Amino acid sequence: MSTELSKRKRYRETKKGDRVKLQKLEQKHVRIADLDTDKPALETLGESGKIKMPKKRYYRQRAHSNPFSDHSLDYPTSPDDMDWTKLYPYYKTQDGKISKQVEIADIGCGFGGLTVALATQYPESLILGMEIRVQVSQYVEDRLLALRENSRVKGEYQNAAVIRANAMKFLPNFFKKGQLSKMFFCFPDPQFKQRKHKARIVTTTLLSEYAFVLKEGGIIYTITDVLDLHNWMVKHLDAHPLFERLDKDWEEKDDCVKIMTVSTEEGKKVSRNHGSKYIACYRRVADPEL
């Protein structure tokens, strides 16, 4: 067991070294493929000259993390203090600012399946995956760096990024009022025990925060394989005055519903086990007149 753990640690350390080198190049808007000389020595560079995709088995971690635990997290004091150019260097302007705002948030993005799929579906939008687990967020970061570097299409996957963050605590620190157009909650922790229900990602208090960062007409997407959790989320969203449920016809026609049903790693596992997937989507309505 200890041998396997040390092997996983060595692999992640190697990827970390390559990650730092790639990030430095990205800040200069340079790709390895564009360099004729002085190419950086990368441990995970394949014979074809492409970056090897990270291996998920070396980043394994517990399926869920306690959102109320103390975590060593970096977060801005306000959205204006957030330096998005570190995550999206491709969109850094000459004056050092970001040319676009994040519009789509994948909350609890896991291993990044949905975040990656949305990047090509919405190439003009900035997409952010938020994940609280250390090793899982590192995997998504390495995955996106490899996809960016290996892509033959200029700028592909540059619109997607991941950040290690606790969305239940610090979401308004990252996003301004009405900034987001879409939020995804895919297969969140069911928190089965009743005393743990307060830790579910959908509660009355949290929905008010989601309504704050969502623009009018923005959509909340939820999907789970746990019927009790689905009913809980529907109950709370139905009761909130700033959300209205979208019908099944809308769901069947919406591209994002199709993508989130098949793109996440958890969703693929549910499909392999022939499990059920419960979907509910809600539109952010206008603030009531005072």
Instruction: Tell whether 96 is covered by a domain.
Output: yes
- Taking each helix axis from N to C end, the angle separating 167-174 and 204-213, rounded to the nearest 10 degrees, works out to 20
CATH of residue 125's domain is 3.40.50.150
Q: How many whole angstroms separate alpha carbon 36 and alpha carbon 40?
A: 11
Cα Rg of the chain, angstroms: 20
Q: Distance between CA 122 and CA 254 in Å, rounded?
A: 13
Return binding residues. 108, 131-132, 166-167, 186, 264-266
**Model confidence at 162: pLDDT above 80:** yes
- Cα atoms in the Cβ-side hemisphere of radius 13 Å centred on 288: 5
Rounded Cα–Cα distance for residues 103 and 245 (Å): 21
Domain count within the chain: 1
From residue 216, give the alpha-carbon distance in Å to each of 121, 187, 285: 22, 25, 6
Annotated binding site for S-adenosyl-L-methionine: 108, 131-132, 166-167, 186, 264-266
Does the pTM surpass 0.75? The reply is yes
User: 10 lies in a domain?
Assistant: no
Highest mean pLDDT range out of 26-30, 95-99, 168-172, 276-280? Answer: 276-280
Pair 32, 25: CB distance under 8 Å? yes
String of DSSP letters for 29-98: T--GGG-SS-----TTB-TTSSBPPPPGGGG---S---TTS-------SSGGG--GGGT-GGGB-TTS-B
* Active-site choice (189, 247, 254, 287): 189
> Does residue 235 lie within any of the structural domains?
yes
Asked whether the predicted pLDDT for residue 105 surpasses 60, the reply is yes
Q: Which residue has the tokens 């022939």?
A: 274
Assess whether 189 carries a catalytic annotation. yes
Q: Does some domain include residue 9?
A: no
Is there a domain that residue 190 lies in?
A: yes
pLDDT-derived band of residue 66, with 50, 70 and 90 as boundaries? Answer: low
Flag whether 47 is in a domain. Answer: no
- Does any domain span residue 28? no
| DSSP state letter for 198 | G
Task: Say yes or no to pLDDT of 240 above 90.
Answer: yes
Q: Has residue 153 been placed in a domain?
A: yes
Domain span at residue 77? 61-284
Residue 54's pLDDT band, with cuts at 50, 70 and 90, is confident
Cβ within 8 Å of residue 100, ≥6 positions away:
88, 91, 125, 126
Instruction: Please report, to the nearest 10 degrees, the dihedral formed by the alpha carbons of residues 227, 230, 235, 241 taken in order.
Output: -170
Share of the chain above pLDDT 90, in %: 63
